[in-house]
C-alpha cells in the first residue's frame, strides 16, 4: 500500500490526510469518472474508512450519489469494490453461503459455496451495503456479527472463523427520512437498530450537489447540451430537479430527479432537440399520473412555460 | 385540488416542508403566517390561475428569504409605517426570486392587484394615490420591472410630489436587498418619512366631507384588512389574539373518556344493528372478490423471518450431520427458510361520530363491512374507532370555564369521547356484531377530529406494522360549538391541519380522508369525496380501495 499521496493531491481537498493506494489490478476496481465531483466532508469520511478501517455509513436522500461517491474514491485508490443491495430480495444464504451438491470423480457430494461476506472478507476489498435501512432483520443479524469490534466472522455452517483480510473495508449507504435522521431501519426493532448504528464509527451525510457543482457535472457529461439548450437552459433544468427534491422531501411527489436524471434529460434534449419532450421521456413518464399536474407546476416555475398535462388528470 | 397543488409548490419553492395553505392563507404548525402585503390574497373565485400562482409564489419567496423574528423586531409601531415596512419586505423577497417562471407569476399577480386597486377607485383619494405611488416606485426600483406607461401617467403628479422624500432612499434599498436587517433599517426610515406625509394628508382629508371621504375609509380595508395577529410590536403585551400563533390547548381533560362499544350499547341492540347493516350490505351487493384482488398486490409481502431447523429439505445443516450416521433413515438434516406469505400491515378506520353523520350510519356500516372483510381475508390487522363528545355545547368544561370567569382563549372546551368498535387484537369474526353499534346515533354529538386522529395514530403505531394507514371518514371540518365560540372558528380546523401535516412529515403512516359530501383533499394528502347517496356502493368501495393502494403501495 502506498501512502505518499495526500487527499490534497488526489481530491483537491484542503487537508494533509495521507491516502492509501492499493497495488491491485482486480476486475472489481471501478472505472474512474473524471467528471465526478467530490463532497469534501464525505470524501474525508470515506477515506478515513479506507485508511484506518473505520466503518463508514453514508446517509443521504435518494439520488444524492452515495454509492457512486464510495466507488469513485475506491476507483482512485485502486481498491476493488463489491456492492450488495440489501433490499427485500437478498437472503441469508446469499450473504453467508450454502451447501450445494457437486459431482466429483463421478460421485455426488456436498460442498459449501461461500456467499458474499466470506468471499469479500478474505480479500482486499471494500464491501458496500446499499439500502442499509431496507435490510430485513435476519440479514441484519448477520451484518451485526461483521460489525463486532474485531470483525471475525464465524461460519457456523463450516465451524470455522474467518479473519478479515487487513485491507477488507466495510461501508454502507442509507436513505434518510425527514431531516437527516435515520429512521425506518426495519420496523419495530428499534433497540437493535440503535445497537447497529452504534457499531458504525463514522456516519457521514451527503446532500445534493450545490447547483453550480451540478451544472459542472451535467455539462461535463453532456458538453453538447451547452450548445443545444444553452447554459441557462441547463441551469433551469437543475432548478426543476431541485424543486422535485424539495417536493419529495415534503412528501408531495413520490419520484425525484437525481443528478443522473438531469444528465439523461440533457442527453435526450440533445438527441431530440426539444427540452420539453426530453423532460417527458427522462422524468415525467416515470411519475404517477396523479402527480403530473404538480410536476407541471414545478416546470412552469422554472421555465415559465406550461407543460401540457392531460386535462383528465388535472381535474382528478 | 388546485389549492393542494399550490400548497405543494409553496413547500417546494420555500424549501420548508412544514408550510401549507389553509383557505388560501399561509400556515405552519404554529398557525397563520403573518404575511400582510395586500397583493398576496387574490379572490380565489374571480382570479385567474396566474394570479393564484403568483400569490403562492410570493408567499414562498417571503418564507424563503425573510426571517420572521428579524422582521418582527424591526417593525415600527405606527400602523401606516408597519404596513409600508411589511410591503417593502415582501417586495424585497420577491425581487430575489431565482426562477424565471416564478418571476413571471409574481409580476402577473402584482399587475392584477394594481388593476384591482384602480378598479376599487382607491387611488381617487390623495392618500390612496400616495400609497399606490410609493408601492409602484419602490417595487420598480427593487425588481427592475419598469412601470407601464399608463401607470406612469397616472402617478406622475404624486410621484413628483414625493420624489424628494422617496428619491434618496431608493439606492440604499436596492443596495441592501440581500441583507434583511440592513434593508429593514432603510425601510423604516422611508416609512417614517412617508407616514409623516400620510398623517398630514389624513388630517387634511378628514376635514373634508361627503362621499369621497366615506369611500376612502370604506375601501381602505383593501389595503389594511389583513390579519395582524403576529404583528403586535414586540413591546406589546403578549395578550389579545397573539396566542393564535401558539399550539393547541385543552381547558381540562378530566372528563374525557374512551369506551368500547359494548359498554355503551346492549348486546341485543348490537345484534339488531348488525342485521340492519347486513341487509344494507346485501342490498348494495358490492362483490368482494375484486376488492380482495385489488388490495392483495399492495398488501402481500413475502417475508420469511424464521429459520426452520430439522427440516427435511433446504440447505444441509452441518450441526445435524451426525444424524446421518446415527440414523440414516432420518431425513431431518436440513435447515430451511419457512416461506410463507406474511402480512405486516395495519389499517385503522376512524369515524367522525358527530351529529351531522347520523343520516349515513347504516351505509357507512355497509362500506366498512365490505372493506374490513376484504382486509381480514388478507390478514391485515384492522381497527374501527370513532370520535364524538360526551355532551353538547361544552358540557362540564364550559360550565367550569364560565365559573373561572371565562378567560380568553381557553382552548378545546368539550368532553372528548373516543369509542372503540373493533380493536386490532379482536378477530373480525367476533367483533363483526359490534359494528351494529354504529347505528346508535344518540352517541353522535360534536366532533374534535384532530384529537381523535392523534389517538387513532398512537394505537396504530403501537402495532408496529411495516405498512400502516389510517382512513378518516367525516363530512366536514371539525365542529364544536363551545370551542368555536370561546376561541376562534378555525381553532380546531387548524389543529387538524397541523396534525395531518405532521403525520405527512413523519411519513410512517398513510393518511386518507373520505369526505361524505365534502372535499377532504383540502386537509388530507389523499382525499376521496363521496356523495351521500353513494356511501357503501361499488364506486365508493373502489375509490377507497384505490386510495389504500396508493398509500400502502409506496
Q: Which residue out of B1, B9, B12 would a mutagenesis test of the A interface target, given it has the greatest number of A Cβ atoms within 10 Å?
A: B12
- CA distance linking residue A236 with residue A229, whole number of Å: 10
> DSSP H helical segments within A126-203, as ranges?
137-146, 190-198
pLDDT score recorded for residue B523: 85
Domain edge (last residue) among A174, A205, A236: A205
Q: Does B539 touch chain A (CB under 8 A)?
A: no
Q: Does B105 touch chain A (CB under 8 A)?
A: yes
The residue written with cell numbers 451547452 in the block is A226
pLDDT score recorded for residue B112: 93
Domain match, A200 and A240 both: no
A246 vs B11, B465, B506: nearest CB:
B11
- Of residues B305 and A164, more confidence is placed in A164
Q: Which residue out of B20, B56, B100, B301 would a mutagenesis test of the A interface target, given it has the greatest number of A Cβ atoms within 10 Å?
A: B100
Three cell numbers written together for B528: 376521496
The rounded mean pLDDT for chain B is 83
Q: Which residue out of A207, A208, A212, A301 would a mutagenesis test of the B interface target, given it has the greatest number of B Cβ atoms within 10 Å?
A: A301
**What 8-state DSSP symbol labels residue B230?**
G
pLDDT score recorded for residue B438: 94
CA dihedral B354, B356, B358, B359 (to 10 degrees): -160
Domain match, A151 and A250 both: no
pLDDT score recorded for residue B229: 41
Task: With H, G, I as helix, E, B as strand and everything else as coil, classify residue B251.
Answer: coil
pLDDT score recorded for residue B46: 85
Whose CA is closest to B53, among B87, B18, B104, B97? B104
Residues of chain B above pLDDT 70, percent: 86
* pLDDT per residue of chain A (316 residues) written in tens, 0 to 9: 555 678 888 888 887 888 888 888 888 999 998 878 888 889 999 999 999 888 899 988 777 888 899 999 999 999 999 999 887 678 888 888 888 778 888 888 888 888 899 999 999 999 999 888 777 777 877 888 788 767 788 887 778 888 899 999 999 998 754 333 333 333 333 333 556 667 788 888 888 888 998 998 899 889 999 898 999 999 999 999 999 998 887 778 878 898 889 999 999 999 999 999 999 999 999 888 888 999 999 999 999 999 887 544 444 4
Asked whether residue B226 carries a pLDDT value surpassing 60, the answer given is no
Test A297 with B6 for CB contact under 8 angstroms: yes
Residue A62 within a domain: yes
Query: Which residue in chain A has the smallest CA separation from B54?
Result: A301
Task: With H, G, I as helix, E, B as strand and everything else as coil, classify residue B517.
Answer: coil
Domain edge (last residue) among A205, A221, A251: A205
Test A110 with B316 for CB contact under 8 angstroms: yes
Query: Which residue in chain B has the smallest CA separation from A254?
Result: B554
Q: Which residue out of A98, A297, A309 would a mutagenesis test of the B interface target, given it has the greatest number of B Cβ atoms within 10 Å?
A: A297
Q: Which residues in chain B are contacts of A184 at CB distance < 8 A?
A: 508
Residue A282 within a domain: yes
Residue A170 within a domain: yes
Test A137 with B344 for CB contact under 8 angstroms: no
Domain match, A153 and A186 both: yes
Domain match, A222 and A199 both: no
Tens-digit pLDDT profile for residues B260-283: 999 999 999 999 999 999 999 989
Domain edge (last residue) among A188, A205, A222: A205
Domain match, A131 and A272 both: no
What domain range is A253 assigned to?
211-311
Domain match, A224 and A137 both: no
The residue written with cell numbers 470423480 in the block is A105
Tens-digit pLDDT profile for residues B497-506: 888 888 887 8
Query: Which residue in chain B has the smallest CA separation from A291?
Result: B5
Residues of chain B above pLDDT 90, percent: 45
DSSP line for B282-312: HHHT--HHHHHHHHHHHH-EEE---EEEEES
* Alpha carbon B433 to chain centroid, angstroms: 35
Residue A190 within a domain: yes
- A249 touches A61 (CB < 8 A): yes
Sequence-distant (≥ 6) Cβ neighbours of residue A18 within 8 angstroms:
A3, A4, A5, A6, A7, A51
Q: Does B307 touch chain A (CB under 8 A)?
A: yes
Whose CA is closest to A47, among A25, A23, A69? A69
- Indicate the number of domains in chain A: 2
Q: Which residues in chain A are contacts of B507 at CB distance < 8 A?
A: 177-178, 251
**What 8-state DSSP symbol labels residue A177?**
B
Whose CA is closest to B524, among B493, B546, B549, B545? B493
pLDDT score recorded for residue B106: 96
Instruction: Give the pLDDT mean for B336-353.
Output: 77
Query: Which residue in chain B has the smallest CA separation from A246?
Result: B12
Q: In the Cβ-directed half-sphere of A103, how many Cα atoms lie within 13 Å? A: 1
Q: Which residues in chain A are contacts of B6 at CB distance < 8 A?
A: 297
Which residues sit opposite B384 in a β-bridge? B349, B422
pLDDT band at B67 (very low <50, low <70, confident <90, very high): very high
Test A300 with B53 for CB contact under 8 angstroms: yes
A304 vs B17, B104, B302: nearest CB:
B104
**What 8-state DSSP symbol labels residue A122?**
T
Whose CA is closest to A135, among A85, A171, A94? A85
Q: Which residues in chain A are contacts of B465 at CB distance < 8 A?
A: 187
Residue A316 within a domain: no
Q: Which residues in chain B are contacts of A290 at CB distance < 8 A?
A: 550
Tens-digit pLDDT profile for residues B283-298: 988 888 888 888 887 7
Query: Which residue in chain B has the smallest CA separation from A184?
Result: B508
Q: If contacts are CB pairs under 8 Å, which of residues 135-154 in chain A contact chain B? A: 136-138
Tens-digit pLDDT profile for residues B139-151: 999 998 999 999 9
Domain match, A152 and A233 both: no
Asked whether residue B432 carries a pLDDT value surpassing 90, the answer given is no
Residue A235 within a domain: yes
Q: Does B309 touch chain A (CB under 8 A)?
A: no
Sequence-distant (≥ 6) Cβ neighbours of residue B61 within 8 angstroms:
B13, B14, B93, B94, B96, B97, B102, B106
pLDDT band at B471 (very low <50, low <70, confident <90, very high): very high
Test B525 with A251 for CB contact under 8 angstroms: yes
Residue A106 within a domain: yes
Tens-digit pLDDT profile for residues B370-404: 999 999 888 899 999 999 999 998 999 999 999 98
Q: Does B11 touch chain A (CB under 8 A)?
A: yes
pLDDT score recorded for residue B9: 95
Go through the domains of chain B in sequence order and give each one's CATH number.
1-208 (no CATH), 272-296+344-553 (3.40.50.410), 304-337 (no CATH)
- Vertex B343 angle, CA B340 and B345, to 5°: 165
pLDDT band at B174 (very low <50, low <70, confident <90, very high): very high
Domain match, A15 and A42 both: yes
Q: Specify the DSSP element, H or E, that contains B515.
A: strand B509-516
Q: Which residue out of B1, B7, B17, B29 would a mutagenesis test of the A interface target, given it has the greatest number of A Cβ atoms within 10 Å?
A: B17
Asked whether residue B358 carries a pLDDT value surpassing 60, the answer given is yes
Domain match, A57 and A133 both: yes
Taking each helix axis from N to C end, the angle separating A231-249 and A211-221, rounded to the nearest 10 degrees, works out to 120
- CA distance linking residue B205 with residue B190, whole number of Å: 22
Asked whether residue B530 carries a pLDDT value surpassing 60, the answer given is yes
pTM for the whole thing?
Answer: 0.60
* Alpha carbon A185 to chain centroid, angstroms: 17
Instruction: Give the pLDDT mean for B508-526.
Output: 89
Residue A289 within a domain: yes
Q: Which residues in chain B are contacts of A246 at CB distance < 8 A?
A: 11-13, 15, 17
Sequence-distant (≥ 6) Cβ neighbours of residue B287 within 8 angstroms:
B538
User: CA of B343 to nearest chain A CA: how many angstroms apart?
Assistant: 13
Q: Does A83 touch chain B (CB under 8 A)?
A: no
pLDDT band at B327 (very low <50, low <70, confident <90, very high): confident
Domain match, A193 and A255 both: no
Instruction: Give the pLDDT mean for B155-167.
Output: 87
Domain match, A37 and A84 both: yes
CATH code, domain carrying A14: 3.40.50.300
Which residues sit opposite B511 in a β-bridge? B470
Kindly report which listed range (A12-21, B47-56, B214-223) carries the lowest average pLDDT score: B214-223
Rounded to the nearest 5 percent, the helix, strand and coil shares of chain B are 60, 15, 30
Asked whether residue B240 carries a pLDDT value surpassing 80, the answer given is no
- B367 touches B535 (CB < 8 A): yes
User: CA of A74 to nearest chain B CA: how many angstroms apart?
Assistant: 33
User: CA of A98 to nearest chain B CA: how many angstroms apart?
Assistant: 6
Domain match, A188 and A217 both: no
User: CA of A95 to nearest chain B CA: how many angstroms apart?
Assistant: 14
Which own/partner pairs from A278-281 qualify as long-range (CB within 8 Å, at least 24 positions apart)?
A279/A240, A279/A307
B15 vs A246, A299, A314: nearest CB:
A246
- A159 touches A202 (CB < 8 A): no
pLDDT score recorded for residue B93: 97
Test A159 with B318 for CB contact under 8 angstroms: yes
Report the DSSP pairing between strands A97-104 and A153-155. unpaired
pLDDT score recorded for residue B242: 26
Amino acid at each position: 500500500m502506498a501512502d505518499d499521496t495526500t487527499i490534497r493531491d488526489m481530491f483537491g481537498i484542503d487537508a494533509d490526510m495521507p491516502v492509501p493506494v492499493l497495488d491491485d489490478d482486480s476486475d472489481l476496481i471501478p472505472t474512474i469518472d473524471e467528471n465526478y465531483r467530490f463532497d469534501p466532508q464525505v470524501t474525508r469520511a470515506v477515506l478515513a474508512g479506507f485508511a484506518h478501517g473505520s466503518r463508514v455509513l453514508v446517509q443521504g436522500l435518494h439520488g444524492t450519489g452515495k454509492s457512486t461517491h464510495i466507488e469513485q474514491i475506491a476507483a482512485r485508490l485502486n481498491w476493488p469494490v463489491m456492492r450488495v443491495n440489501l433490499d427485500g430480495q437478498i437472503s441469508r444464504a446469499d450473504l453467508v453461503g450454502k451447501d450445494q451438491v457437486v459431482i466429483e470423480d463421478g460421485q455426488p457430494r456436498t460442498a459449501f459455496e461461500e456467499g458474499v461476506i466470506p468471499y469479500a472478507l478474505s480479500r482486499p476489498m471494500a464491501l458496500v451495503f446499499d439500502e442499509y435501512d431496507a435490510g430485513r432483520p435476519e440479514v441484519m443479524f448477520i451484518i451485526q456479527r461483521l460489525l463486532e469490534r474485531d470483525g471475525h466472522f464465524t461460519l457456523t455452517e463450516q465451524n470455522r472463523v474467518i479473519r478479515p483480510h487487513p485491507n477488507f473495508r466495510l461501508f454502507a449507504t442509507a436513505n434518510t427520512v425527514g431531516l437527516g435522521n435515520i429512521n425506518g431501519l426495519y420496523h419495530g426493532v428499534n433497540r437493535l437498530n440503535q445497537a447497529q448504528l452504534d457499531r458504525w464509527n463514522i456516519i457521514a451525510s451527503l446532500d445534493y450537489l450545490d447547483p453550480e457543482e451540478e451544472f459542472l457535472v451535467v455539462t461535463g457529461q453532456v458538453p453538447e447540451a451547452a450548445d443545444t439548450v444553452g447554459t441557462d437552459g441547463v441551469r433551469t433544468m437543475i432548478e426543476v430537479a431541485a424543486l422535485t427534491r424539495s417536493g419529495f422531501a415534503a412528501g408531495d411527489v413520490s419520484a425525484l430527479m437525481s443528478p443522473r436524471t438531469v444528465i439523461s434529460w440533457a442527453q435526450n434534449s440533445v438527441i431530440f432537440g426539444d427540452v420539453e419532450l426530453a423532460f417527458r421521456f427522462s422524468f415525467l413518464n416515470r411519475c404517477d399520473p396523479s402527480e403530473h399536474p404538480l410536476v407541471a407546476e414545478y416546470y412552469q416555475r422554472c421555465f415559465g412555460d406550461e407543460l401540457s398535462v392531460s386535462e383528465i388528470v388535472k381535474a382528478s | 385540488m388546485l389549492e393542494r397543488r399550490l400548497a405543494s409548490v409553496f413547500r417546494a419553492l420555500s424549501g420548508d416542508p412544514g408550510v401549507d395553505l389553509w383557505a388560501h392563507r399561509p400556515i405552519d404548525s404554529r398557525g397563520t403566517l403573518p404575511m400582510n402585503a395586500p397583493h398576496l390574497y387574490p379572490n380565489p373565485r374571480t382570479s385567474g390561475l396566474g394570479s393564484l400562482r403568483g400569490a403562492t409564489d410570493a408567499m414562498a419567496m417571503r418564507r424563503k428569504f425573510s426571517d420572521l423574528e428579524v422582521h418582527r423586531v424591526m417593525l415600527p409601531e405606527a400602523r401606516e409605517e408597519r404596513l409600508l415596512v411589511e410591503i417593502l419586505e415582501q417586495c424585497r423577497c420577491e425581487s430575489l426570486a431565482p426562477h424565471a417562471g416564478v418571476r413571471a407569476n409574481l409580476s402577473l399577480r402584482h399587475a392584477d392587484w394594481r388593476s384591482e386597486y384602480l378598479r376599487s377607485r382607491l387611488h381617487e383619494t390623495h392618500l390612496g394615490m400616495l400609497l399606490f405611488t410609493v408601492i409602484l416606485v419602490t417595487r420598480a426600483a427593487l425588481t427592475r420591472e419598469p412601470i407601464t406607461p399608463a401607470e406612469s401617467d397616472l402617478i406622475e403628479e404624486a410621484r413628483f410630489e414625493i420624489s424628494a422624500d422617496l428619491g434618496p432612499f431608493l439606492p440604499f434599498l436596492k443596495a441592501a436587498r440581500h441583507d434583511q436587517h440592513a434593508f429593514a433599517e432603510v425601510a423604516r426610515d422611508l416609512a417614517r418619512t412617508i407616514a409623516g406625509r400620510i398623517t398630514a394628508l389624513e388630517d387634511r382629508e378628514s376635514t373634508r366631507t361627503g362621499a369621497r371621504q366615506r369611500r376612502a375609509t370604506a375601501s381602505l380595508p383593501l389595503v389594511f384588512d389583513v390579519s395582524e395577529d403576529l404583528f403586535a410590536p414586540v413591546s406589546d403585551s403578549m395578550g389579545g389574539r397573539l396566542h393564535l400563533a401558539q399550539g393547541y390547548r385543552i381547558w381540562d381533560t378530566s372528563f374525557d373518556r374512551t369506551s368500547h362499544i359494548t359498554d355503551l350499547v346492549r348486546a341485543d341492540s348490537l345484534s339488531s344493528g348488525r342485521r340492519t347493516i347486513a341487509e344494507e350490505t346485501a342490498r348494495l351487493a358490492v362483490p368482494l372478490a375484486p376488492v380482495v384482488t385489488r388490495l392483495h398486490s399492495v398488501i402481500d409481502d413475502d417475508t420469511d423471518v424464521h429459520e426452520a431447523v430439522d427440516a427435511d429439505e433446504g440447505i444441509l445443516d452441518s450441526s445435524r450431520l451426525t444424524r446421518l450416521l446415527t440414523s440414516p433413515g432420518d431425513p431431518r438434516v436440513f435447515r430451511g427458510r419457512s416461506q410463507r406469505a406474511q402480512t405486516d400491515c395495519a389499517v385503522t378506520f376512524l369515524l367522525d361520530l358527530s351529529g351531522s353523520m347520523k343520516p349515513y350510519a347504516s351505509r357507512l356500516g355497509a362500506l366498512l363491512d365490505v372493506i374490513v372483510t376484504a382486509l381480514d381475508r388478507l390478514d391485515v390487522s384492522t381497527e374501527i374507532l370513532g370520535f364524538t363528545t360526551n355532551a353538547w355545547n361544552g358540557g362540564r368544561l364550559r360550565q367550569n370555564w364560565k365559573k373561572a370567569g371565562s378567560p380568553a382563549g381557553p382552548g378545546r372546551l368539550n368532553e372528548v369521547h373516543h369509542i372503540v368498535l373493533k380493536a386490532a387484537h379482536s378477530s373480525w369474526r367476533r367483533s363483526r356484531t359490534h359494528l351494529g353499534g354504529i347505528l346508535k346515533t344518540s352517541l353522535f354529538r360534536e366532533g374534535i377530529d384532530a384529537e381523535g386522529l392523534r389517538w387513532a395514530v398512537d394505537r396504530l403505531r403501537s402495532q408496529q406494522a411495516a405498512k400502516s394507514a389510517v382512513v378518516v371518514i367525516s363530512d366536514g371540518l371539525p365542529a364544536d360549538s363551545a370551542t368555536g365560540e370561546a376561541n376562534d372558528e378555525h381553532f380546531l380546523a387548524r389543529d387538524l391541519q397541523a396534525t395531518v401535516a405532521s403525520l405527512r412529515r413523519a411519513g410512517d403512516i398513510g393518511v386518507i380522508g373520505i369526505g361524505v359530501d365534502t372535499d377532504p383533499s383540502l386537509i388530507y394528502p389523499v382525499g376521496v369525496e363521496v356523495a351521500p347517496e353513494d356511501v357503501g356502493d361499488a364506486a365508493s368501495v373502489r375509490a377507497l380501495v384505490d386510495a389504500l393502494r396508493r398509500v400502502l403501495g409506496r
